[in-house]
Structure 1
């Protein structure tokens, strides 16, 4: 991975820069960026202004220490005797996964390193990125339901099973959207969503309207599988960020357990056996 070198020290307020870097890093965490990329992108911006950055990242918060790079001095501090580090901490944000913001934030770090904008311009560009309107929720709802239906057909399900998977996913994902909008407990959201989606599909199996109910029930909850936490957790472990990697993998495991609980409730309530 390409490592940047600190540039000449810019006449910027280190506390203002640190505040921006904290918000920049936590925004990346919330949209599904792995730890190593967060560190590289954030450090690249610090280097653009002539600072070294030390980052300590955990699952719930992040701590940064900003220090002028070796050999760099400020016009207000011409010698190194008055240089001191600036440290801050911030809690991570909670937002839906967003690969568009992921790419745009990375692009912003390169723009900063190449063009050295003022902090005001940097703030304006950052705000423009995070204010980007999300994709229409109803379009997402339809496309995810369609994708789950396609998975059912791909795995060998019949048209009847696929139809129930579409309907079940539609209901389950709608419930998930509404619960998330009300800031419900995340694992409860997953559990209830899995139950609703599988229950709709289970009704079709109960009344004999599905030829392959096991395929339909299995694919009805695929939209809840925590693929990004699993991938990011493994990447963090491979990159040496052990605490972050373990915490992300544990989060993924808890989501899988929540899916299992919701699916099990459907099987017990409808007295279904897929063995």
Structure 2
């Protein structure tokens, strides 16, 4: 026998809730969450307020339909005869990957499911997560450059080559940060970043200072490899979200092409070869 949803939950403004869920879902997309997790987290919040949620995700947009339901035994939901669903659509956002936001947004869905806060509190918690002070950009820049340098050493590069990799990665990633702040075209950003990073390393090879120029040139662009889009694309395909999976894999492939163009520019300009 179905149990009635508490009156306080029925009084939630469903249009306001739908608007929040759209922003919540698109924010998850922007920080690198796979589709199945976005659907589960967003649906969990809808269930907390006595609504069933239907989500359609596309490459650039997301559509949702919110329907009032009754909660039955064993977590089942029964649609009400007098239910009036509402539907909304929003565009996906584009932001840097952020695993902290990934975890905190998932935690917010569980808090909502367990505590049923009002929408004002839910909005406040959501905004608090989004406005969390990010990690210092210079620290990120140094750590990524150091990681690329270590990868060069790990792959058999000499010390001088790894120092050029550090400098190239530092300047290439700095350029990427600045272009991202100015909302430059993503593939142009990747191409220019790959060119700058590999060009600095290529100068060391051209001057005969590096003992392992092939390893150094290969390592100089590793920070641009789209690991998360590749992983999320495969996971989406395995979960049955074919359009999203193919879209993310194509995005990853385009990033690889952009890296290749930037690296090829260095090789042609300096007359170098990786063979």
TM-score interval, smaller chain: over 0.9
Is residue 159 of structure 2 the alignment partner of residue 149 of structure 1?
no
The residue number in structure 2 matching 1:217 is 217
**Matched-pair contact (CA < 8 Å) for 1:28–1:105:** yes
**Matched-pair contact (CA < 8 Å) for 2:148–2:220:** yes
Is residue 265 of structure 2 the alignment partner of residue 249 of structure 1?
no
Task: Note the C-alpha offset of 1:59.
Answer: 1.6
SS for the counterpart of 1:156 is: coil
Q: State how 1:82-93 maps to structure 2 within 5 Å.
A: 82-93=82-93
**Matched-pair contact (CA < 8 Å) for 1:148–1:219:** yes
The residue number in structure 1 matching 2:199 is 199
In structure 1, how many angstroms separate the alpha carbons of the residues matched to 2:274 and 2:117? 61
- What is the alpha-carbon root mean square deviation over aligned residues? 1.5
The residue number in structure 1 matching 2:272 is 272
Q: State how 1:228-239 maps to structure 2 within 5 Å.
A: 228-239=228-239
- State the TM-score, normalized to the length of structure 1: 0.93
SS for the counterpart of 1:200 is: helix
Is residue 31 of structure 2 the alignment partner of residue 31 of structure 1?
yes
Task: Note the C-alpha offset of 1:83.
Answer: 2.1
Cα 1:120–1:225, aligned 2, differ >3 Å: closer, same or farther? same
**Matched-pair contact (CA < 8 Å) for 1:7–1:48:** no
Task: Note the C-alpha offset of 1:82.
Answer: 3.9
The residue number in structure 1 matching 2:75 is none
Cα 1:68–1:150, aligned 2, differ >3 Å: closer, same or farther? same
In structure 2, how many angstroms separate the alpha carbons of the residues matched to 1:44 and 1:244? 21
Structure 1 residues 182-238: Cα deviation after superposition (integer angstroms, max 9, x where no partner): 111000000000000000000000011011101000000000000000000000000
The residue number in structure 2 matching 1:94 is 94
- State the TM-score, normalized to the length of structure 2: 0.93
**Matched-pair contact (CA < 8 Å) for 1:198–1:266:** yes
The residue number in structure 1 matching 2:240 is 240
The residue number in structure 2 matching 1:183 is 183
Structure 1 residues 127-154: Cα deviation after superposition (integer angstroms, max 9, x where no partner): 0000011111111111100000000000
Task: Note the C-alpha offset of 1:273.
Answer: 1.5
In structure 2, how many angstroms separate the alpha carbons of the residues matched to 1:193 and 1:7? 54
In structure 1, how many angstroms separate the alpha carbons of the residues matched to 2:5 and 2:256? 45
In structure 2, how many angstroms separate the alpha carbons of the residues matched to 1:219 and 1:102? 28
Is residue 133 of structure 2 the alignment partner of residue 139 of structure 1?
no
The residue number in structure 2 matching 1:57 is 57
The residue number in structure 2 matching 1:104 is 104
In structure 1, how many angstroms separate the alpha carbons of the residues matched to 2:128 and 2:156? 45
The residue number in structure 2 matching 1:166 is 166
In structure 1, how many angstroms separate the alpha carbons of the residues matched to 2:193 and 2:80? 57
